[in-house]
């Protein structure tokens, strides 16, 4: 199966402006200046000394990109082999495609987003979505930065999924006919087999993927190419950070041991102080990691969840006073200023803090919550974003 655009094409820039909830002149002005409407910053790569550049779109452009997702990309029917940035698909579901494999080839595309260029994006809108040239060009301007796809824009994962819209499905079909399973989670490509693969056949599979990438001037990061087999337990079978040697995807043993050690340390931290802000942060981190192994069905997860529930973070007197002050400031906001994203974020932040306050001051938190509910935003985040 190939990706399918299931809606009627947007036939003009005026129709596009209507779909995105703005005037045509505002749309064209935003598109013309889109490349300078980003803030770029660097974040360290996981398990590496290198950094990744992330480009955060400014508010007006971010809103337009969210509306592009709704007006365009939500009408795309994605085939099962695409697993990244799509509702109800993620790294676990991606790994499950390759469950019970005997041979596994894991590949990584080098500098994927930065090497997807504007002409490739234009082709998605023009030939996949069947939009006219002027509409495709405006959408390309709104979703690229300096002629490339920015990592950090909410439209970028959809573009990454569709960059091979005309050719990837043929490769997948050919692999399927050969008894192989293929999946791609953005820049992570996995091919697996229920049978052992020879070195010669493995090389041919990798070469086929290289040819697919070369059509878009992309290439593999050879240092991240991993070929593994269940017949060689010394080389773990890994798909997007999960272990497949025992069939179904699991968290690595080292990660589960680390969670156990950190869980013990967290309980000791709780004995010293449950309201220290470092304790709050560590509790949130461990909760996220426990959520991961819960999702994967690990037997230890329920025990950890129960233990976390018994050592929930609390507030000391300073943070209680700060919470009450935030409630007063929120309630003092004039009604006509309660219709923006900043206020909505403050409103939900205060509700979050009241949830923590209720662990030690239930009646006080209940009274404050009643006050806050009277100051609810006059609109929803979805209404502001999508109109």
β-bridge mates for residue 77, sequence order: 4
Statement to judge: residues 224 and 347 lie in one domain = no
pLDDT above 70: residue 387: no
| Residue 245, domain member (yes or no) | no
Give percent of the chain with pLDDT exceeding 70.
99
Q: What is the predicted pLDDT for the residue at 48?
A: 65
Statement to judge: residues 142 and 200 lie in one domain = yes
Residues 111-129: tens digit of each pLDDT: 999 999 999 999 999 999 9
User: Confidence class of residue 234 from pLDDT cuts 50, 70 and 90?
Assistant: confident
pLDDT above 70: residue 96: yes
Among the candidates 239, 267, 294, a domain finishes at 239
Q: What is the mean pLDDT of residues 205-213?
A: 96
pTM: 0.88
DSSP 221-239: -GGG-EEEETT-TTS--EE
Distance CA 362, CA 127 (A): 58
Statement to judge: residues 77 and 128 lie in one domain = yes
Q: What is the mean pLDDT of residues 15-27?
A: 95
Q: What is the predicted pLDDT for the residue at 244?
A: 87
Q: What is the predicted pLDDT for the residue at 383?
A: 84
Statement to judge: residues 75 and 161 lie in one domain = yes
pLDDT above 90: residue 52: no
User: Can you give the residue range of the structural domain that contains 259?
Assistant: 253-311
Statement to judge: residues 206 and 274 lie in one domain = no
Total domains, the chain: 3
Residues 255-314: tens digit of each pLDDT: 999 999 999 999 999 999 999 999 999 999 999 999 999 999 999 999 999 999 999 999
Here the tokens at position 288 are 């996220």
| Residue 247, domain member (yes or no) | no
Q: What is the mean pLDDT of residues 191-210?
A: 95
Q: What is the mean pLDDT of residues 26-32?
A: 96
How many residues in the chain? 387
User: Confidence class of residue 200 from pLDDT cuts 50, 70 and 90?
Assistant: very high
pLDDT above 90: residue 248: no
pLDDT above 80: residue 233: no
Statement to judge: residues 307 and 322 lie in one domain = no
Burial state string for 11-37 with b = 16 or more CB within 10 A and e = fewer than 16: eebebbbebbebeeeebbebbeebbeb
Statement to judge: residues 145 and 202 lie in one domain = yes
Q: What is the predicted pLDDT for the residue at 47?
A: 63
Distance CA 291, CA 251 (A): 12
Give the residue from 130, 121, 111, 9 showing the smallest Cα distance to 51.
Answer: 111
Question: If you average pLDDT over every residue of the chain, what do you get?
Answer: 93
Give percent of the chain with pLDDT exceeding 90.
85
Statement to judge: residues 210 and 270 lie in one domain = no
């Amino acid at each position: 199966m190939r990706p399918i655009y299931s809606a009627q094409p947007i036939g003009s820039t005026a129709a596009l402006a209507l779909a995105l909830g703005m005037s045509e002149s505002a749309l064209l002005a935003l598109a013309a200046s889109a490349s300078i409407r980003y803030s770029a910053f660097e974040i360290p790569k996981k398990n590496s000394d290198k950094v990744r550049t992330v480009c955060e779109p400014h508010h007006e452009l971010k809103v337009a990109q969210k509306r592009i997702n709704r007006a365009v990309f939500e009408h795309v029917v994605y085939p099962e082999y695409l697993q990244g940035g799509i509702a109800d698909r993620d790294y676990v579901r991606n790994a499950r495609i390759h469950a019970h494999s005997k041979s596994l080839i894991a590949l990584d595309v080098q500098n994927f987003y930065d090497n997807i260029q504007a002409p490739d994006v234009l082709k998605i809108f023009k030939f996949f979505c069947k939009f006219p040239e002027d509409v495709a060009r405006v959408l390309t301007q709104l979703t690229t930065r300096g002629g490339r796809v920015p990592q950090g824009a909410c439209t970028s994962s959809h573009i990454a999924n569709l960059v091979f819209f005309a050719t990837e499905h043929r490769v997948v079909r050919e692999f399927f006919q050969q008894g192989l399973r293929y999946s791609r989670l953005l820049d992570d490509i996995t091919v697996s087999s229920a049978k052992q693969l020879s070195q010669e056949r493995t090389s041919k599979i990798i070469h086929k993927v290289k040819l697919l990438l070369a059509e878009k001037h992309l290439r593999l990061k050879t240092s991240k190419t991993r070929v593994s087999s269940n017949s060689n337990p010394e080389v773990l079978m890994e798909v997007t950070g999960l272990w497949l040697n025992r069939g179904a995807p699991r968290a690595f043993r080292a990660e589960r041991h680390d969670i156990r050690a950190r869980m013990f340390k967290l309980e000791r931290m709780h004995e010293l102080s449950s309201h220290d802000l470092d304790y709050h942060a560590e509790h949130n981190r461990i909760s996220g990691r426990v959520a991961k192994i819960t999702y994967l069905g690990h037997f230890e997860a329920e025990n950890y969840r129960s233990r976390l529930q018994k050592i929930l973070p609390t507030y000391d007197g300073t943070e209680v006073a700060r919470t009450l002050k935030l409630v007063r400031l929120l309630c003092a906001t004039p009604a006509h200023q309660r219709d923006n994203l900043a206020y909505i974020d403050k409103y939900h932040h205060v509700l979050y803090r009241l949830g923590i306050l209720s662990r030690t001051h239930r009646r006080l938190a209940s009274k404050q919550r009643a006050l806050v509910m009277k100051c609810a935003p006059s609109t929803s985040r979805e209404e502001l974003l999508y109109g």
